[in-house]
Chain A
Amino acid sequence: MLEMTGITKRFPGVVANEDVDLTVLPGQVHTLLGENGAGKSTLVKILYGLYRQDEGEVKIGGERVEITSPAAAISHGVGMIHQHFMLVPTLTVAENVALGLHGKRGLADMAPVRERLMEVSERHGLVIDPDAYIWQLAVGERQRAEILKALYRDARLLVLDEPTAVLTPPEVDDLFATLRSLTSEGRGLIFISHKLAEVMEISDEITVLRDGRVVGRTTPSETSREGLASMMVGREVRLGRDVSDQDTGQDRLVVDGLHVRGDRGNLALEDFSVQVAAGEIVGIAGVSGNGQRELAEAIFGLRPIESGKVEVACRPIATPTPKSVRRRGVAFVPEERMRHGAVGELNVSENLMLVEYEHRPYVRAGLLQFGAIAERCKDLVRRFTVKTPSITTQTSHLSGGNIQKVVIAREFSADAEVLIVAQPTRGIDIGAAEYVHERLLSKRAAGAAILLITEDLDEALQMSDRVVVLYEGRAMCNLPRAEATTDRVGLLMTGVSEDAPAPA
């Protein structure tokens, strides 16, 4: 039903797509697989009229089409489920669906929209309240609204851009059931993901992109997760990691009965406690938005603590400010590396020195000692394999993975005994992620106490000695590695407690 041939799209300085072919058959789930920046999103944005290709042609149902705008894409039966939902939070579900449709005589009469929406939602088992405002909905419901928007317009070809990134494992199962019902009706699906297990489960065909080019086409029965990973990265990749048990020391970080308020005055953390011992990684798993950010900020003195206490090395921190917390030997890799981890406008060496610039030998009599700084930075860049033209390159010009390496080089090189690491591999490529994991393990081997906050369930389970699931600000469990299975933790992430019935 869809044939894209010879698609090339250039941006200043990069070729995002080069001679890409993609064919999707009716009733098929066709997966686009690739790392960040491989060109998956560019390709589907061309299909949806958000970008215009420089070369190549698009055929839908055998006819050559020019897709110059999303409106044109919609009229050709293309629907898109965006990675960052394209929903207006202050409008209701029905209003979001009606947006862009032409009402009778210019009136936005919601009654017929609501009626048809309910019909479509029932047919596909996508339960939703049409009169709820988007901001009131949970992430899974928002995604249903996003899918319904496309189905309401009777999209025959649906593009799903990383639809599982924000979902809990049970929600992923529900989504996949929906997708199968859509293909059984003869709709074609383009599924974008970099989660290999999901790709193996849902795909009929897989096209792998790397650096904007198609590097392979396969089906799940012909390949394996390792095979897919190797195609994505372009070299052998070993998935999974054997983390040997090691003895732990004293508790270095103790969080006890923490209550913290979120940005909107809501209780973001409620009676939250966790202990991390020397030589131990404790993973905080959970869907983001359940108090993870507030936890890291509270420990690091960036957010006031309402009650409860934080102890580092058996002594409470009286007035937590980033400076006093750092002085006690705590380092922090924040989840938003471009907003809180690094200053994009500063160069690599300036970012590397942000913590230590006030100390000798890097400053004398108030003057920065550029010789000592350059020496230190060159050493860090080499040891942490940061790919940068020079230490004076502006940091925002580096790739996400390399910016993260700069942050990690700065935070891990200090003699911190406690590391707060939030979403360390989000949005970076497999190679850089492997590297971050190695560094975490070597810090663990050196006796650091590490609190690893991550929404990547595989990462949490693979790296952690113990797993704490955070749900709506509360700790749902504290499981040792051997007991933390995907199913068990995945269920806890949805708020289903093990010793209580499911919440109503």
Chain B
Amino acid sequence: MSNFSKTFSSTLGKKLIMCLTGLFLCSFLIIHLIGNFQLFKDDAGLAFNEYAYFMTNFPPIKVVSYLLYLSILVHTIWAIMLTQKNKAARPISYAKKGGNGSIWSSRNMGILGTMIFVFIAVHMSNFWYNYHWGTTPYVEYRTDLNTGITQVKELSETEFTGHVSYVENGVQIIKAKDLYKAVAFSFQQLWIVALYVAAMAALAFHLLHGFQSAFQTLGWNHSKYKPLINFLGVWVFSVLIPIGFAAMPLYFFFK
């Protein structure tokens, strides 16, 4: 066995894989949230649809997105492998459970992670799959560059020949897949909104433990910067980010 495969097959090596993929997924959440804030723009989805096109077609981002899908799978599979090892380490459990000084989320990362995984599957089949290969509505934006007024027209499948953006006689014409409309439509359904909000609650608790835990695994636990890591873990990753995401389905549902 080579040195590297030996290192990564050790308990600490497997934990390192969990930690690095987890932190990479955390960094993605920030980008995803900032980008998706364009859903709140009152422009019939012009900015959001342009952003969606850019994110799915700009080559460097495509590479990163495949890394992201891989990270989700690796994070999940390695979690299962570690959990199996952990279960095997205690074949007979205690008859009496006492308070043991740990927080609830730290003991239930598997359940929380499973909820998030189910959510990701639903979320990707809702939007990612449909945007790439399924059915989405099409839209045409005609913006008069002198007045700045935009006219929006739904296009049929035959009228849409691909994503275009050009200027003709002082009018900017953009034809795009209308992911914004698909999002707005999905978030009219109560069960989808409920699922998204519940998943974000699971994410909040997952990150409440996960973010600071990743730094502990890396060996970065020092009294000087531990308070900063804890602050980011609690307020940014388990409060701001989940609330920001949960606000999107709620916004469209009550709009």
**A and B part of one assembly:** no
